[in-house]
Structure 1
Amino acid sequence: MKQINYNRSGQELRWAEWQQLRFYRVPADIEGWLRDTGSLTARLKSVCKESFRVRLLRQEWGRPLYSEQRLLGMNMGEIAIVREVELICDGTPWVFARTLIPARSLRGPARRLSMLGEKPLGEVLFADPRMTRGTTEMARLSKQHRLYDVATKGQAWKRNEIWGRRTLFHLAGHPLLVNEIFLPEAIGNS
């Protein structure tokens, strides 16, 4: 089982709830995206001029990072499906998304989440009346973070920092964690 090291320094990103970010300078073009509580899939579809699609980059069993494990209420050694995708608007990646679904969450109606392929997770979650949205945290990613490298791989541009959020969802009482890293060259043009 392969684990990607998402931070070269051995420390994880500093995730914080919105109220804790008041001392950071969050760019105006990203703030609305970070704070939005609706379906990101629906919002992207509404701003894409021609097309929206999901590109599956990888989906495999893996071990969450410590902070992810804690947020998901997982025990040490438990595994999860790790799904990484790009959300593409008019041919350009706008968002890198990393979802973690603990093995114990893949029961009942949540089992279908392991077979999404290139179907948008947001469509499934926001269409299900059993879905509840929990904590959302934000983070600033810099070039020193491995997650920055993974999210921006193949992009022609490189900024000193990008922003992301992660949200804990529950589907029929089972937790899953969705990380969304916003690629500002695209988002800033919306």
Structure 2
Amino acid sequence: MEKLLGRARWFDHPNAVQAGPLLRQWLADPGSMTFKLRARCDALRVQRLRQRPGNALQDECGLLGLTPREAVEERDVILHCDGHPVLFGHTVTPLASAAAWPFFRRLGNRPLGGSLFSDPLVTRAPIQYARLHAGHPLVRRVCQALDLHSQPPLQPLYARRSLFRRHGSVMLVTDVFLPALSTLMALNM
């Protein structure tokens, strides 16, 4: 059903998404993917795809405490490791709470992880896990960014997301693991 509706089923445990052991280990890592990737490649580059006001996705509204019509600030990026796209990052925060995240609008092509994980005022809720199928809006954004319109991924893309809090405001960060990440994981076991 989730495949048809463009929604994902999010789980509280990485075993629920039936990922292999190495991928499951990466999904469940409590640290910053930015730091993890930076340690495994010579050149990490952030490509900002967009940052603008918008609406939260259907499967984000409940977690953010929003109705589907409430505005958010959203940011989509692709992290490239040594020239290969390995991670799609999607971040949303309610527009009403944007002031609690002063660094967010100024990131440009810099990674979010450095700001989030170094701020002592930020707390993180437990990680959730999903397999995103071709109909999911984030998979469609990945296909658009990587120019894969004629060949969407045959396999689901694995994702994780966490809710971060700062001064009572929330920010939802979703990491979508791209196929090239498998090669990087295998090389750096």
Give the TM-score of the pair, scaled to structure 2: 0.85
Query: Are 2:14 and 2:24, in contact at CA under 8 Å, matched by a contact in 1?
Result: no
- 1:76 Cα shift? 4.7
Q: Which residue is equivalent to 1:3? A: none
Which residues of 2 match residues 91-110 of structure 1 at below 5 A?
A: 91-108=83-100, 110=101
Deviations 1:102-158 (A, max 9, x none): 1122124x1221221111110000110001001321111223434223224426784
Q: Which residue is equivalent to 2:5? A: 10
Q: 1:11 to 1:92 in 2, by over 3 A?
A: closer
Q: Which residue is equivalent to 2:62? A: 70
Deviations 1:16-40 (A, max 9, x none): 111671xx42122311111000111
C-alpha distance in 2 between matches for 1:185 and 1:64: 27
Q: Number of residues paired by the alignment?
A: 180
Deviations 1:53-73 (A, max 9, x none): 210001111110233121012
Query: Are 1:30 and 1:184, in contact at CA under 8 Å, matched by a contact in 2?
Result: no
Match of residue 185, structure 1, among 176, 180, 184: 180
- 1:162 Cα shift? 1.6
Residue 158 of structure 2 corresponds to residue 166 of structure 1: no
Residue 132 of structure 2 corresponds to residue 141 of structure 1: yes
Query: Are 2:15 and 2:24, in contact at CA under 8 Å, matched by a contact in 1?
Result: no
Could you list the runs of 5+ residues in structure 1 that have no partner in the other structure?
1-6
Match of residue 33, structure 1, among 18, 22, 26: 26
User: What is the root-mean-square deviation of aligned Cα atoms in Å?
Assistant: 2.2
Give the TM-score of the pair, scaled to structure 1: 0.85
Percent identity between matched residues is 33
C-alpha distance in 2 between matches for 1:159 and 1:186: 16
Could you list the runs of 5+ residues in structure 2 that have no partner in the other structure?
none
Match of residue 88, structure 1, among 80, 83, 87: 80
Query: Are 2:56 and 2:68, in contact at CA under 8 Å, matched by a contact in 1?
Result: no
Q: Which runs of 4+ in 1 moved over 4 A?
A: none
